[in-house]
Amino acid sequence: MKTCTLCASTLDVGASACPNCGIAVPQARRPSRLARTARASVVAFAGLAVLGALALPVLGRVRGGDCEPHSWADWHVAMARACLTPDYVCENMTSAKMLEDPQLAAELRHALRGGRGGAIAHLDALVAHVREAYGCASADSSRPAPALDPPDRRLPPGHPPVPATPAPPIFQAPSSLTI
């Protein structure tokens, strides 16, 4: 049963006009075939996206036959997966090779500029800890110092020029005194 929107009288479900006031009653429309197809496509696409997101970790494990980390983050993942061999760790886990990772080298430069001189010792300790866990001999500490960017030598706007070599200080009293 339906009700008329004008006079509120009760109508049959199939009625096309109200018997009391004669106004036409709009029929309920079904969504078009195109709208139903579009809705089904969106639902199917969303389902495939969810399945794909769930399948990524599985594919990573299946595909992950090669366990050769190339960055600091890759080392964390490889150690968590326990796919590293002691030979690979002993050959490649050194402070010098870790500093080949641009992100880690930038973090070390930032720490050194910030006055945290113990950052190099901290990196060496982390590398030594991992090497010890895999049964490696101690790493060769004869690595080159990290290349730091040159300090910023620009003066603020309006500052007078500063000579390259400062004048030596004068520690004697003037010979004459004017009053």
Q: What is the DSSP string of 6-66?
A: TT--EE-TT-SB-TTT-PBPPPPPPPPHHHHHHHHHHHHHHHHHHHHHHHHHHHHHHHTT-
Half-sphere exposure of 154 (CA within 13 A, CB side): 4
Q: Is it the case that residue 149 has pLDDT exceeding 50?
A: no
Give the pairing type, strands 2-3 and 10-11: antiparallel
Ramachandran angles phi, psi of 63, nearest 5°: -75, -20
Q: Is it the case that residue 170 has pLDDT exceeding 80?
A: no
Exposed / middle / buried, residue 83 (Cβ in 10 Å: 0-12, 13-18, 19+): middle
User: Tens digit of pLDDT for each residue in 30-39?
Assistant: 677 888 888 8
Q: What is the mean pLDDT of residues 44-50?
A: 82
Coil, helix or strand at residue 143 = coil
Contact 147, 113 (CB under 8 A): no
- pTM recorded for the entire structure: 0.41
Every domain of the chain and the residues it spans: 1-30, 33-63, 69-145
